[in-house]
Structure 1
Amino acid sequence: MCCDKGTEEAGPELLAGVSLPAAVLHEAPLAHNLTWMQRFAEAHGARLAPHGKTTMTPALFRRQLEAGAWGITLATAPQCRAAFVHGVTRLLMANQLVGEANMAIVADLLEAGADFYCVVDGAENVRQLGRFFAARRLELQVLIELGVPGGRCGCRDAAQVEALVAAIAEEPALRLVGIEGYEGMIAGGDEVAAVRAYGERLVATVRMLRASGVLESEAPIVTASGSKWFDLIAEAFDEAELREHYTPVLRPGCYVVHDHKLYAGAMADVKARHPHLQDELRPALEVFAHVQSLPEPGLAVIALGKRDIGHEPDLPLPLRLHPLVSQPAAATTPVDISAWRTTHIMDQHVFLAIPQDAEIAVGDVIAFGTSHPCLTFDKWRRLLLVDEDLRVKENLATCF
């Protein structure tokens, strides 16, 4: 039998009936975030294609689509296949499609009826795609990726874009339908101004391509946005002409569960830039684990480790102590321990610096938050959706 962490062993009560550690999604903030980001995108005249690589959780894809998402963004061909198998028909692969095995996966998806898009940034990849999909007698929709100097993938300048347009025109199996970008690699100097300029560059480029007649779409796609600068990209896309003649698409992924530090700080910056913005995203993902050992004063060792929770860019963040043993009469009243500090993490252990007089016992439960949620999701075959009373409402399977 496989080792399934976080399973219900003795009932739906998280603190008593579940094998800990367990990755937990809180129902209320999850529902809030789904609605909040969908409304934000729509208010700016944009569609929402959440980045599914964050969670790779089909039940969350379904909730995002039901909330109004235009499609789901993925990073790899196998991720696209997993999403399609679970009912996602519009797939935006914000990445280059490289390698014949991966091309074959996408060809199968197209033959099965998927509305699929990927990005290109080089002539050789264009030629490879053209040959493969022509041989399969299929058309592949592609977006030119616009990069930034020193960044990740993508054309660096207008000359590269022009050369790529010419290369795509030589491949009858490829349809150029828009522009894609990722602003998350912009760093240093006045980042806000640089991101705004990048958004304007995306819009100017897609307009130029549409005016030149090379785009094979009545409503060309212009898409960008991670989870940090989504407001600035939305500003660039929020124009009447884009709403009417283009398909602006935002692609944040982490918003669905948010976090307790990295994106919490980014959300504070969004609010500072837009002081009249109503409400904000709320953290929905936590990992619960037992206090395992109290080997010396000032130190608690928690039964949680790198195999259970992300630890980059910050170590796990202690949030609340559920005193099941140290104060059993108050077990339903969690204690705020956000002032405590994680000092070290190993494969299966977290070292927690605690006050000398802390009321804590082996068997108590601690809820930890994360800074950047992506690398917590991929450590779990299932996550538990819980209500405000920490009762398990649903098991959510992942597809990593």
Structure 2
Amino acid sequence: MNTDKGTTETGPSLLGGVSLPAAAVFEPALAHNLAWMQRFADAHGAHLAPHGKTTMTPSLFTRQLEAGAWGITLATAPQCRAAFAHGVTRLLMANQLVGEPNMAIIAELVEQGAEVYCVVDSAANVAHLGRYFAARGQSLNVLIELGVMGGRCGCRDADQIEALVAAIAAQPALALVGVEGYEGMIAGGNEVAAVRAYGERLVDTVKALRASGVLRREAPIVTASGSKWFDLIAEAFDKAALREGYTPVLRPGCYVVHDHRLYAGAMADVKARQPQLEGELKPALEVFAHVQSLPEPGLAIVALGKRDIGHEPDLPLPLRRYALASNPEGGREPVDVSGWQTTHIMDQHTFLKIPEDAPIAVGDVIAFGTSHPCLTFDKWRRVCRVDAALNVIEEMPTYF
């Protein structure tokens, strides 16, 4: 992407002043999503700590915090370091902190004034963390992770939790401050019921730990929620009356730009479960690329590949055509091409099945939607923030 503008009031047009392919975040939808999710969390008496791994874009972290977020969630120690370097001081690492080089990163952040939380699910990890942070003369905030059978990390049952509480109590350098979970791995015949049950289990666990006196935080943290089931986790927090005496935290990440397929479907499910909700999230992320070849009828090759856009669980979704080459006078007006189909994607090429009589030329631009935005952001070192007219407002660096 070749622009030298940086943040400007009137930047170049994405269609004429930026080297394509380029990833673009639309400001109107972005602003809407930031406000919508913050209102949702506030309405349920919950804090919001958006998962930063989705974008790893500090400009967006700043916007989320300015909108009212409690902190930013990260997945790794280097991600925490990148966020802190750009002004994020409350860091929730929703993952186990393993390996002394990673512990050193977190210890350095704590020394610099960061408020850091990480999760634990084994006595072995607890012992290693306890030794390391004691040697540094520091205290580390930890949350017990509550897992599910067949899922990834986390304690599976009450006996494991009890043993872990005892292990943490034996480490003076560790402060047990709450419970963390992730419901996104739940699958089966009745996922809604299973997620609701998991939310209740999460709440019951933090309440039991608080009653036992083992928690070292006056308002203990209870946190879960990805971008699919956030309404059910918020429902569990609200039903348990956690507004007083606890710190309930929701952690969706993809909401900030949403998408055109995976989370669009999840949003429709949320609206079906919660018909009283006003409005909904809007897709804000698209990738623009040139048609580079029309080698045979019904086939367009676009200069876009796996290195530019996510391609799972769905292939890129063609949305609009800008006829810059086939109609130079009016080509900046978008034409809907949502009936066209991506059939294959390679490192630098996307195969589009198009009508044989489609008015298209080499040099035209196609805007593509995504399914699961995390897998598109990590392709880019810079992402364009654009207005509704496709003028670049800001070039936003990413830090993957």
With the length of structure 2 as denominator, give the TM-score of the two structures.
Answer: 0.98
Cα displacement (A) at 1:329 = 2.7
Cα deviation code 1:260-317 (max 9, x no counterpart): 0000000000001111210000000000000000000000000000000000100000
Is 1:159 aligned to 2:159, yes or no? yes
RMSD between aligned alpha carbons?
0.9
Match of 1:70 in 2: 70
Secondary structure at 1:17's aligned position in 2? coil
Match of 1:333 in 2: 333
Secondary structure at 1:343's aligned position in 2? strand
Q: Aligned partners of 2:113 and 2:371: how far apart in 1? A: 38
Task: Check conservation: 1:326, 1:364, Cα contact below 8 A.
Answer: yes
Match of 1:172 in 2: 172
Secondary structure at 1:260's aligned position in 2? coil
Secondary structure at 1:396's aligned position in 2? strand
Cα deviation code 1:58-98 (max 9, x no counterpart): 00000000000000000000000000000000000000000
Secondary structure at 1:141's aligned position in 2? strand
Task: Check conservation: 1:8, 1:19, Cα contact below 8 A.
Answer: no
Cα displacement (A) at 1:13 = 1.0
| AA in 2 matched with 1:224 | A
Cα displacement (A) at 1:240 = 6.6
Secondary structure at 1:238's aligned position in 2? helix
Cα displacement (A) at 1:332 = 2.5
Match of 2:127 in 1: 127
Match of 1:222 in 2: 222
| AA in 2 matched with 1:246 | Y
Q: Aligned partners of 1:313 and 1:158: how far apart in 2? A: 35
Q: Percent identity among equivalent residues?
A: 78
Cα displacement (A) at 1:8 = 5.6
Match of 1:114 in 2: 114
Matches within 5 A, 1:294-333: 294-333=294-333
Q: Aligned partners of 2:242 and 2:387: how far apart in 1? A: 40
Match of 1:279 in 2: 279
Match of 1:388 in 2: 388
Q: Aligned partners of 1:6 and 1:206: how far apart in 2? A: 51
Cα displacement (A) at 1:239 = 3.9
Task: Check conservation: 1:259, 1:284, Cα contact below 8 A.
Answer: yes
Cα deviation code 1:223-281 (max 9, x no counterpart): 00000000000000114731001000000000000000000000000001111210000
Secondary structure at 1:159's aligned position in 2? helix
Secondary structure at 2:242's aligned position in 1? helix
Match of 2:204 in 1: 204
Q: Which structure 1 segments of 5+ residues have no match?
A: none
Q: Aligned partners of 1:58 and 1:6: how far apart in 2? A: 21
Secondary structure at 1:242's aligned position in 2? coil
Q: Aligned partners of 1:326 and 1:193: how far apart in 2? A: 53
Match of 1:88 in 2: 88
Secondary structure at 2:241's aligned position in 1? helix
Is 1:186 aligned to 2:198, yes or no? no
Match of 2:350 in 1: 350
Is 1:397 aligned to 2:397, yes or no? yes
Q: Aligned partners of 1:8 and 1:85: how far apart in 2? A: 23
Match of 1:289 in 2: 289
Cα displacement (A) at 1:188 = 1.3
